[in-house]
Amino acid sequence: MEIKPLGDRVVIQDIEVEEETTESGIVLPDSAQEEPQEGEVVAVGEGKKLDSGERLSMDVSKGDKVIYGKYAGTEIEYDGEEYLVVSEKDILAIVE
């Protein structure tokens, strides 16, 4: 079973943030760092349905690394993994 978003929604999994070490050797734990706003697209909806019945194609696809808005989407947990479901309009850029 997998997650299939509806409409113009996208499911994103955060990219793991490595522990950061300062120049003086102090290790900053994950809890002290800012939440990442970069993730990998794991599922994409079919696209927004227009009044005419046509669907707009999605600009992102599965496997894309993206940057999304800081307070965007809804966090969900599925099969022990955490995901973020966002509207395509909340995705700011594709990282190449």
Q: What is the pLDDT of residues 37-86, one digit of tens each?
A: 899 999 999 999 999 989 999 999 999 999 999 888 999 999 999 999 99
pLDDT at residue number 29 = 63
* The CATH homologous superfamily of the domain defined by 9-14+27-95: GroES chaperonin (2.30.33.40)
Q: What pTM value is reported for the model?
A: 0.77
- pLDDT, tens digit (0-9, with 9 covering 90-100), for 15-40: 865 656 667 777 666 555 555 589 99
pLDDT at residue number 66 = 96
Domain range summary for the chain, segments of one domain joined by +: 9-14+27-95
Q: What is the rounded CA–CA span in Å between residue 11 and residue 3?
A: 8
Q: Are 81 and 16 in contact (CB under 8 A)?
A: no
pLDDT at residue number 47 = 93
Q: Which residues contact 41 (CB under 8 A, 6 or more apart)?
A: 10, 11, 12, 60, 61, 62, 63, 64, 65, 66
